[in-house]
Amino acid sequence: MHLKAIHRIMRLATAAICLASIPGGAALACPSEPFIGSICTMSTNFCPEGFLPADGRALPVNQNAALYSLMGTRFGGDGKTTFQIPNLISADKPNLITCIAAQGIYPPRP
């Protein structure tokens, strides 16, 4: 067998193994029961219910206590009345929207 053909077969086999290891389809898709604060990417122009666009917006602490308890003021805000979520808008991916789970399961600590 020619060396190029063997190399191509090895690349295809590696790709197949990588794809087979992705659980339940797209790894970046938003799950139906997410951990609060988890990030997902969508090819739509909106985030699913329970998610917010990760666009750097300020949120009120008193209405988003669980998310605030995980994020604090790491991305901005005064920590008393507001905090900010990360701005993950990407110029190199203009047709994708990155979302952050504002509702869901509170993640357990390791």
For residues 37 and 107, give the distance between their C-alpha atoms in angstroms, rounded to a whole number.
9
| Domain presence at residue 20 | no
Distance CA 42, CA 23 (A): 17
Query: Is residue 6 pLDDT above 90, yes or no?
Result: no
| Confidence (pLDDT) at 62 | 97
More confident residue, 106 or 12: 106
Give the count of domains, the chain: 1
Q: Is the pLDDT of residue 106 over 70?
A: yes
> What is the extent of the structural domain holding 85?
34-109
- The percent of residues above 70 in pLDDT, for the chain, comes to 75
pLDDT one-digit tens code per residue, 78-102: 999 999 999 999 888 888 999 999 9
Please indicate, yes or no, if residue 8 is contained in any of the structural domains. no
15 in a structural domain:
no
Residue 61 lies in a domain: yes
Q: Is 47 contained in some domain?
A: yes
In a domain, residue 87? The reply is: yes
CA 65 – CA 59 distance, rounded (Å): 10
Q: Is the pTM higher than 0.75?
A: no
Task: Classify residue 17: in a domain, yes or no.
Answer: no
Residue 97 lies in a domain: yes
